[in-house]
Amino acid sequence: MTENPTLLVVILNYRTPELTLKAAGAALADSDQLRAEIVIVDNDSRDGSFDQISKVIARKGWSRNDRVRLIDAGRNGGFGAGNNVGIQAGLADGTRPDFVYLLNSDAWPEQGAISCLLDFMHATPKAGLAGSGIRGDDGVDHQTAFRFPSIASEFEGAVRTGIFSRLLARHIVALPCFDEPTQVDWVAGASLMIRMSMLEQIDLFDETFFLYFEETELCHRAARAGWECWYVPDSQVVHIGSVSTGMKTWRRTPPYWFDSRQHYFTKSHGHVYWAAATLAHIAGGTIWRLRRLLSRAPLGEPPRFMRDLIAHGTKNLIRRTPSVGSLAPRILEDKQ
């Protein structure tokens, strides 16, 4: 590794041109003293985003010295596929970068955020991935460091009962917002530094996923290959969240979420494990619903989630490879 490593910043756009340009501007300012280039990948937005972003890049002079490039993905293959396009593009001179930094279009690194991650990775040779400390535009910290999902975590997350949470505390997926760099299982992909030599060993994002679980699976593959994943809170990023996907306003959990969940469990642990994890979630959710008869607490999940989970599990009990992403582009277009 060189003392002055090269960096490729990848920003994925899907129908959020104004936010994408804001993210690119923030990344450009924060990487000004680094050997860095930015590539914006338009994920087949078909709403004029590509032309709008291209014009602003030209007007602001961002393309000078290949600091910012814009690429058309040609199809909307989802989060992982779109980022793979950017990663595979490499640097403008045709060489591969030492590190890749993934930045969501609705996320803005504060001053020093990118160099903080880069310095940490450079000083920690076993670190394959490192994520930032993230907070919303309201100043509230987001939980973006996690344990890997498991059968136990599926039950705990669904049962929502103190006694079970205490018994299964070491299986709870969401971790607290640590004050110091902390090794974790996986981190959110909104602001994520990745070592390129690790990707060359374990491969890029699995494009079977359309949305959700793709960074979890990448980190799981990395861990199996002996790489570490770190949460680095000194790298601070503001993130709105779920702008492209519309997750905050879901009226119902889309099929691709269940498909991605199944693919993660079956690929990482096997088909039987996925079935057991689904049964654990159903068991926990049933207990929670019985408790709600007395407490009248909010359900805490999209409408018909349990029925959709059961229907998906029943349909795919025999089928071992779900049709991940088959409905996602249409569903996402409906959310815009």
All domains in the chain, ordered by first residue: 6-142+177-244 (3.90.550.10), 249-335 (no CATH)
Average pLDDT (56-81) is 95
- Residue 72: strand pairing partners: 42
Contacts 24+ apart (CB under 8 A), 250-255: 250/302, 251/302, 251/303, 252/302, 252/303, 252/304, 252/305, 252/308, 253/301, 253/302, 253/304, 253/305, 253/308, 254/327, 254/328, 254/331, 255/312, 255/326, 255/327, 255/328, 255/331
Model pLDDT for residues 83-101, shown as the tens digit of each residue:
999 999 999 999 999 999 9
83: which 2 tokens?
A: 């980022």
Closest CA to 210 of 244, 239, 240: 244
250: which 2 tokens?
A: 């879901």
Amino acid 65: pLDDT = 87
Amino acid 145: pLDDT = 98
What are residue 280's phi and psi, to 5 degrees?
-65, -40
**pLDDT above 80 for 247:** no
Q: What's the pLDDT band for 9 if we cut at 50, 70, 90?
A: very high
156: which 2 tokens?
A: 């705990």
CB 61 within 8 A of CB 103: no
**pLDDT above 80 for 208:** yes
**pLDDT above 60 for 174:** yes
**pLDDT above 50 for 234:** yes
Q: What's the pLDDT band for 331 if we cut at 50, 70, 90?
A: very low
CA 12 to CA 39: how far, in whole Å? 9
The answer for residues whose C-beta is within 8 angstroms of residue 311's C-beta and 6 or more apart is none
Percent of the chain with pLDDT over 90: 84
Amino acid 326: pLDDT = 44
**pLDDT above 80 for 242:** no
**pLDDT above 70 for 325:** no
Query: Which H, E and C letters describe 212-280, residue by residue?
Result: CCHHHHHHHHHHHCCCEEEEEEEEEEEECCCCCCCHHHCCCCCHHHHHHHHHHHHHHHCHHHHHHHHHH
Model pLDDT for residues 148-160, shown as the tens digit of each residue:
999 999 999 999 9
Average pLDDT (256-281) is 96
Average pLDDT (161-165) is 94
- Residue 135: strand pairing partners: 141, 238
pTM: 0.91
**pLDDT above 70 for 206:** yes
